């Protein structure tokens, strides 16, 4: 009478472990032979015959796994055309590592998860350090969960509540309005100047307000329905072009003049749809809706004699007053 050997607990999951081995251990530069695969399965206390592996390969291919064969002196197998290619993962890793609104801890967690989407060998290439000048990481660990709550509120058509804070010189939170709870209608989230912003509708003032998500805390969804806001007519891309540094201010139609060397800078901000009108002596003009704010004025001022506000006169006056006020700070004191 034949002796029936006990089947290991993992033997029943042979197909799953085979898939894990192929995904974790193989890529085009690191294929495995059948013998090596059988050895890897043995690590999980799973026995396998060569013929059964071929059958398993077919099942995994039917499931959607792209198992390729590499033939030279020996026949080897590897996973090709994964859901994410290595250059795509590198791009995502760089974004996670250099982004200001993601904390260092969250960046590391994200990169670890991204690394699991490729082979162990290729994952080593994802452990790269990206340095981006002037991009200090946020200190707010809850930003992920705030974003999730905001998205949920938008989808459910509800208002949100939160507290809003700044940091003092001791790097401590100082809540605005003495910690008063803000209640508002979330419209959308946007990423501008490497920070995440909530664009919210204020029914009382019939206008839009911006909040840095990493400066929001205790975000929760209210039972109150969101205020009526025509989202279909709202174009977030156009809105961001008009608002500099997400700093709200009175919108005004301005004529701006620039040296031709600034074409790329202007297009980067206003987009390819902005009309550029060529002028004499290597200059061009644009007409755009901009917010009358210190951020916009500073943006124009940085170009020195290569940029100029041409109209309207009220905007020129605001710029003139700002320059005069700053000039007084640096005027030498009479002795």
Contact 153, 219 (CB under 8 A): no
Q: Which residues pair with 224 in a beta bridge?
A: none
Contact 126, 133 (CB under 8 A): no
Instruction: Give the other-Cβ count within 10 Å of 101's Cβ.
Output: 20
The residue ranking higher by pLDDT, 81 or 171, is 81
Percent of the chain with pLDDT over 70: 88
* The predicted structure's pLDDT at residue 32: 93
Close Cβ partners of 30 (under 8 Å, ≥ 6 residues apart) = 78, 119, 121
User: What is the sign, positive or negative, of the torsion defined by CA atoms of 83, 84, 85, 86?
Assistant: negative
Interior angle at CA 229, CA 228 and CA 235, nearest 5: 170
- pLDDT band of residue 249 (cuts 50, 70, 90) is low
Between CA 69 and CA 282 the distance in angstroms is 60
> Residue range 291-307: average pLDDT?
88
What's the whole-model pTM score? 0.56
Query: 232 pLDDT exceeds 90?
Result: no
Q: What is the pLDDT of residues 114-137, one digit of tens each?
A: 888 888 888 888 776 544 444 455
Query: 2 pLDDT exceeds 60?
Result: no
Close Cβ partners of 169 (under 8 Å, ≥ 6 residues apart) = none
Q: Which residues pair with 141 in a beta bridge?
A: none
- pLDDT band of residue 315 (cuts 50, 70, 90) is very high
* The predicted structure's pLDDT at residue 334: 59
Instruction: Give the other-Cβ count within 10 Å of 156's Cβ.
Output: 10
Query: 3 pLDDT exceeds 60?
Result: no
Among 252, 200, 205, residue whose Cα is nearest residue 231: 200
Among 182, 141, 179, residue whose Cα is nearest residue 161: 182
**Domains of the chain, CATH where assigned:** 11-79 (1.10.10.10), 86-126 (no CATH), 143-230 (2.30.30), 239-327 (3.30.70.240)
* The predicted structure's pLDDT at residue 247: 62
């Amino acid at each position: 009478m034949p002796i029936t050997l006990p089947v290991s607990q993992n033997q029943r999951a042979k197909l799953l472990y085979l898939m894990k081995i192929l995904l974790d251990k193989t890529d085009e530069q690191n294929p495995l032979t059948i013998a090596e695969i059988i050895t890897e399965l043995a690590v999980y206390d799973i026995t396998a015959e060569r013929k059964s592996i071929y059958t398993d390969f077919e099942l995994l291919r039917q499931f959607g796994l792209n198992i390729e064969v590499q033939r030279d002196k020996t026949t080897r197998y590897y996973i090709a055309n994964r859901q994410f290619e290595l250059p795509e993962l590198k791009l995502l890793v760089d974004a996670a590592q250099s982004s200001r609104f993601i904390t260092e801890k969250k960046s590391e967690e994200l990169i670890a998860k991204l690394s699991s989407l490729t082979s162990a060998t290729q994952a080593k290439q994802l452990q790269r350090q990206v340095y981006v000048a002037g991009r200090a990481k946020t200190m707010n660990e809850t930003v992920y969960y705030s974003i999730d709550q905001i998205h949920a509120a938008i989808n459910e058509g509800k208002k949100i509540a939160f507290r809003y804070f700044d940091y003092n010189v001791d790097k401590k939170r100082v809540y605005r309005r003495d910690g008063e709870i803000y209640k508002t209608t979330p419209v959308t989230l946007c990423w501008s100047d490497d920070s995440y912003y909530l664009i919210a509708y204020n029914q009382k003032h019939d206008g839009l307000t911006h909040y840095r998500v990493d400066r929001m805390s205790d975000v929760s969804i209210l039972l109150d329905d969101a205020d009526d806001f025509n989202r279909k007519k709202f174009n977030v891309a156009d809105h961001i072009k008009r608002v500099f540094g997400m700093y709200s201010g009175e919108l005004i139609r301005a004529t701006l003049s620039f040296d031709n060397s600034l074409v790329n800078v202007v297009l980067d901000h206003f987009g390819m749809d902005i009309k550029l009108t060529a002028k004499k002596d290597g200059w061009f003009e644009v007409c755009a809706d901009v917010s009358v704010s210190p951020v916009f004025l500073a943006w124009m001022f940085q170009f020195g004699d290569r940029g100029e506000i041409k109209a309207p006169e009220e905007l020129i006056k605001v710029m003139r007053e700002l320059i005069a006020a700053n000039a007084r700070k640096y005027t030498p004191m009479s002795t």
